[in-house]
Chains A and B, each alone.
Chain A
Amino acid sequence: MSTPLLQQVIDRSAPIDDASPADLDVNFGLLDEYSKREIRRAILTAVAVPGYQVPFGSREMPVARGWGSGGLQISLAVVGPDDVVKVIDQGDDEGVNAVNLRRLIVSSTGIPESTTPEDSTLIQTRHRIPEDPLDERHTLILQVPVPEPLRGVERDMRELARMHAEADYARMWVSLYEDKVRNGVITRTTGYPCLVHGRYVIATTPIPRWDVPRLHQSRFLSLFGAGREKRIYAVPPHTDVEPLTFEDVPFEVEITPGAQCRSCGSSESFLVEVPATAAEGGGHWVCSDSDWCRRNRQRQHPSNGVEP
């Protein structure tokens, strides 16, 4: 965990009844100071109870709900003047959603931005975890469209609350059992349900299964923000994150044998398919983490410079 960051969050979560209006830096991070503190308190609760979905009074943000408003609120609540921010969508710093959110964060805080995790402290992401190993310096902020992992088996929110409270996840297991019986394989795709710290089942946003093992016993803090559904949850560093799977049915990540990035040649990163077109002929693969791919190319051909 970035201990300094968590300490900052704690420091900034104290009640501010005694603060004079002059102390409110309303502009930094867009949100008013009261809102930031409320969000920080929710974050602290989430860190203290790993995997528990903490309700919070989600603010309306200058991005639509479903477009990263939860992640953005977390970023703006924890960001300090010394942070460097990286924002990705689908692994890509140039994705439209990433560009939009990065502009908001940078313009409302004045902090520097970066595309390399090495130089960043806050990484807000939609659907991916960067390929580079992250560590104590990093806080990963994941945008969550649907935070409730059990919604597929239960719709009634009162019953859902009970199931989480009693760690009653039998019906989730039944759904996995039925899936395996019906299809021969577990067909869950992204957002794979995981048991955190042996207690709460979470939805791992829609990150691919490829990224799920990297949440387990990670060195970094992961914060999950669902703005529309008004929930924040966390995976603190060095915490167990186990994908729900049967002992004799191995958890499978997305691997297509023989697939290689057309740009950097990697077969060790999460690849996305570029479908065949009439003009280009056969389909091919590219890294989803665009910045990692760029640096991978650079490593191989230091003289070539960087492709646009």
Chain B
Amino acid sequence: MNNDWALKVASLGKIHGITDLRALEDTGPDIGTAKSALTGSIVAAWDVGFEVAPGEALGVIGESGSGKSTVMRCIAGDQSSTAGEVYLRSVDNGRTNVLDLDPSSRRRLRVADLAVVYQDPAEGLRLNVTAGGNIAEALTAAGWRHFGRIRDRAAELLERTEVPLSRMDDLVGTFSGGMRQRVQLAKALANEPPVVLLDEPTTGLDASVAAGVLDLIRNLLEETGVAAVVVSHDFAVIEMLTTRCVVMNHGRIVEAGLTDRLLEDPHHPYSQRLVGAARA
């Protein structure tokens, strides 16, 4: 891979409990568990690495407990990591490991460098604030101070994410699940971040609603040229949104490659099982 990446993750690891590296030896896909019998710690993720180019969407697939959400939260800064490096092209032209930044600088990245869309909209939105107000939070954090322009920008974003403008001044808490997810997307894209992380963005939605949101996400990813990481347990989501993906099992990446190829011809037994289950 060349230098053309917006996000680069290398050797990322997270151990819950005491940090004793002997836990690496009795955990992982070959052992069949993430919990070390030796140390009692849980190796939620270890040695995870990938690069994502602008305009590209990378999938992270695995069952719940595979460590995929841990990876996302460590990149986002919601969780501290035990080891590894994360680089953003927009930060110091990709030369600074953002995991080394102090918590305050780390949080500041969330304004315009890195956006997250959570499975639960309550994590990414304030339910007691209007749809427009939620977007205004992202905009004012980035220094917007003109009420009219904030209104216009919020309306534009809601239009793009197909939220009826008549709902702009309603509290997000009164919205349906699908609509909340659309507002969350609008807020995430407000400051045109070069990187977006999406954690199970359609899980929990009705099938028809989920299909609509997926369509929207695909269009947005194409239009904006953002680099995206899509975390999901669902191959249909990964297939629809991503060109490349990694498969995680018990905290480790067991296989990586083009999404089409992986679906056609999975190599690792765990990938085969996942694909088999999805095709069944």
| A221 CB to nearest chain B CB (Å) | 29
Instruction: Check A181/B141 contact, CB under 8 A, given A247-B146, A248-B148.
Output: no
* Inter-subunit contact A178/B137 (CB<8 Å): no
- Chief secondary structure at chain B's binding surface: helix
Q: Is the beta-carbon distance between A248 and B140 smaller than 8 angstroms?
A: no
Confirm or deny: A177 has a beta carbon within 8 angstroms of a beta carbon on chain B: yes
Given contacts A177-B136, A178-B133, A181-B132, contact A168 B145 (CB under 8 A): no
Residue of A174, A181, A246 ringed by the most chain B CB atoms within 10 A = A174
Q: Find A177's partner among B108, B141, B147 (CB 8 Å cutoff).
A: B147
Complex Cα gap A173–B107 (Å): 18
Q: CB of A301 within 8 A of chain B?
A: no
The reply on A18 being an interface residue by CB < 8 A is no
User: B93: which A residues are within 8 A, CB to CB?
Assistant: none
Q: Is B169 an interface residue (CB 8 A)?
A: yes
Contact, CB under 8 Å: B141 / A168 = yes
**What 0/1 readout, one digit per residue, does chain A (245-268) give for beta carbons within 8 Å of chain B?**
011110000000000000000000
* A-B Cβ contacts below 8 A, count: 51
Which residues of B does A touch, CB under 8 Å?
104, 107-108, 126, 129-130, 132-134, 136-138, 140-141, 145-150, 169
Instruction: Please name all residues of chain B whose beta carbon is closer than 8 Å to the beta carbon of A180 when the two chains form the complex.
Output: 147
Given contacts A165-B104, A166-B107, A168-B141, contact A177 B133 (CB under 8 A): yes
Q: Within 8 Å of chain B (Cβ to Cβ): is A170?
A: yes
**CB within 8 A of A174: which of B104, B107, B108, B137?**
B137
- Does chain B have a CB within 8 A of A188? no
Contacts of B134 in A (CB 8 A): 174
Say yes or no: is A171 at the interface (Cβ < 8 Å to chain B).
Answer: yes
- Closest Cβ neighbor of B134 among chain A residues: A174
The residue of chain A having its C-beta at the shortest distance from the C-beta of B107 within the complex is A166
- Closest Cβ–Cβ distance, residue B122 to chain A (whole Å): 16
Specify which of B104, B126, B145 is in contact with A247 (CB 8 Å cutoff): B145
In the assembled complex, the Cα of A173 lies from the Cα of B145 at a distance in Å of 8
Q: Considering the chains assembled together, what is the distance between the CA atoms of A174 and B136 in angstroms?
A: 6
